[in-house]
Amino acid sequence: MSAYAELMDFQRETEALVQVMGRLGWDQETMMPRGAATQRSEEMAALEGVLHARRTDPRIGEWLEAAEAPDAAGEAAMRLIRRDFARHTRVPARLASELARVTSISQGVWAEARERDEVGHFLPMLAQVVALRREEAAALADGGDPYDALLDDYEPGASGAEIAAMFARMRPRLVALREAVLGSGRERAPLKGLYPSEAQMRLARRLAELFGYDFARGRLDLAVHPFSSGSGSDVRITTRVAEHDPFNCLYSTIHETGHAAYEQGIDPAWRLTPLGQGGSMGVHESQSRIFENQIGRSRAFCGYLHSLMAAEFGDMGLEGAEQFYATVNRVAPGYIRTEADEVQYNLHIMMRFDLERELVAGRLEAAQLEDAWNARFEADFGVAVDRPAHGILQDVHWSIGLFGYFPTYALGNVYAGCLHAALRRDLPDLDAQLAAGDLAPATGWLREKVQRHGGLYRPREVIARACGGEPDEAPLLDYLEAKFGALYGL
């Protein structure tokens, strides 16, 4: 057996175990009885130990030395295995297990702090997480930039400096647009009334199907925080239901369907190989965001969604499809990133990106973070944070050591902007199709141009190939100005 074949066989078993681990995580958020938490953490720690041993197995290094890839896909797979092996072997086992232990405690401390709406013990706990991640970043960076080393885990090849420069170009236009919209005097009311859960879930399933989700290889369940998990022939999504706010359920479902469509759309020949999953968090988010926003919140599709919702819920207190579209795209001041509209969302990310870069670099300490957050929020959004749950405690990411993750959300928006411009060029009848509820041409285009490639290309490369040019922020900003300029009569 050749070194390449041995390496791929070994990797396949690792990928299978990664899927098992993901399914345990899915179960924990959806089905697991509450009393099983302690046993489950032991089960997951055991599997994590097996995975760590496999990922750092010295034979991988030997196989990589000796192996010859038969084709371009094989080369890409080897590149991903090499990268993964280097990352795992650079971090001492002691540090890896300490990080796993401390972040699992820290997540609990964060959840409790958020529930009580008191920063309390959270910042000292966060200080431990920051210290460990700085140590890990230094080990991974190998003399390079520590923040980039963390970022690289989520968005291979991206750099903090490049993202900072892109954000500096985006900020003035986003701020000007936000000021113009909020100063337009056209305030939009949120939706009124109550929308029964069963009807929302029925619609959510219908929307998932419309957007191409394959229920034969997936399922839709409820969870506290919506997510998508799994690859290949078992890709599951979750959503949540609030009876007063059906858009939360429906647009969370469309968003997660975007992530799932990516995983379900990958060439089946790559199942359980390094190419058999999305290329980066940024590319992943581009699929969920273009489904949710550029397609799902378009005027054309909102007209169709309005007819679906009116059949379930009556007129919803709205005058018609045009007012429905304006309500879906309502821009309003708010503290919470996950509830932010398209205009303000990236401003939330910029703030987190700057703060976490300072933290990782050691120019800011966890103990100072709440003050830094509040000062920055007021400067950026013109409102003082009224309580910690609306400020530093709103997101789980930092409590579990995810530094370098936030910017991938904004990169996803930027990539979605580029893909949307290319999609409109290639499908001149897109609006007529969306208005008729025919999403197959759009989702088919994304599958063909992006999703089926899985991990074959580097993140920027897959977007560049789909769009016919290097990705940048201009198409997203042009789209936002045109859309919200029209909506708010600017």
Please report, as ranges, the residues that interact with Zn ion according to CB under 5 A.
Answer: 288
Contact between 261 and 446 under an 8 Å Cβ cutoff? The reply is yes
Query: What separation in angstroms does the CA of 224 have from each of 31, 205, 436?
Result: 12, 18, 32
Picking from 348, 338, 178, 343, the residue whose alpha carbon sits closest to that of residue 251 is 338
Contact between 463 and 283 under an 8 Å Cβ cutoff? The reply is yes
Q: What are phi and psi of 361, to 5 degrees?
A: -75, -10
Closer CB to Zn ion, 229 or 288, in the complex = 288
Tallying the residues shown for the chain, one arrives at: 490
Report which DSSP code applies to 269: G
Closer CB to Zn ion, 56 or 228, in the complex = 228
Is 256 in the active site?
Answer: yes
Q: What are phi and psi of 237, to 5 degrees?
A: -125, 155
Residue 350 in tokens: 């910029």
Closer CB to Zn ion, 288 or 399, in the complex = 288
What is the DSSP secondary-structure string of 297-350? TSHHHHHHHHHHHHHHHTTTT-SSHHHHHHHHT-----S-GGG--TTTHHHHHH
Closer CB to Zn ion, 122 or 262, in the complex = 262
Long-range contacts made by residues 142-151, C-beta under 8 angstroms, separation at least 24?
A: 142/90, 146/360, 146/361, 147/356, 147/357, 147/360, 147/361, 147/403, 147/404, 150/360, 150/403, 150/404, 151/404, 151/407
Least distance to Zn ion from the beta carbon of 410, Å? 12
Contacts of 346 (CB under 8 A, 6+ apart): 167, 170, 174, 410, 413
Least distance to Zn ion from the beta carbon of 156, Å? 18
Closer CB to Zn ion, 119 or 261, in the complex = 261
Least distance to Zn ion from the beta carbon of 459, Å? 15
Closer CB to Zn ion, 155 or 370, in the complex = 155
Distance CA 448, CA 333 (A): 38
Contact between 32 and 40 under an 8 Å Cβ cutoff? The reply is yes
Distance CA 266, CA 233 (A): 10
Query: What separation in angstroms does the CA of 299 have from each of 46, 320, 326, 327, 432?
Result: 50, 12, 9, 11, 11
Closer CB to Zn ion, 288 or 394, in the complex = 288
Sign of CA dihedral 330, 332, 338, 341: positive
Contact between 193 and 246 under an 8 Å Cβ cutoff? The reply is no
Least distance to Zn ion from the beta carbon of 207, Å? 16
Least distance to Zn ion from the beta carbon of 259, Å? 6
Choosing from 15, 136, 155, 256, the catalytic residue is 256
Closer CB to Zn ion, 200 or 288, in the complex = 288
Closer CB to Zn ion, 228 or 273, in the complex = 228
Report which DSSP code applies to 191: P
Contacts of 7 (CB under 8 A, 6+ apart): 60, 63, 64, 67, 78, 81
Least distance to Zn ion from the beta carbon of 255, Å? 6
Query: What separation in angstroms does the CA of 173 have from each of 12, 45, 166, 335?
Result: 46, 46, 12, 20
Residue 94 in tokens: 């002691």
Contacts of 153 (CB under 8 A, 6+ apart): 87, 404
Active-site amino acid positions: 256
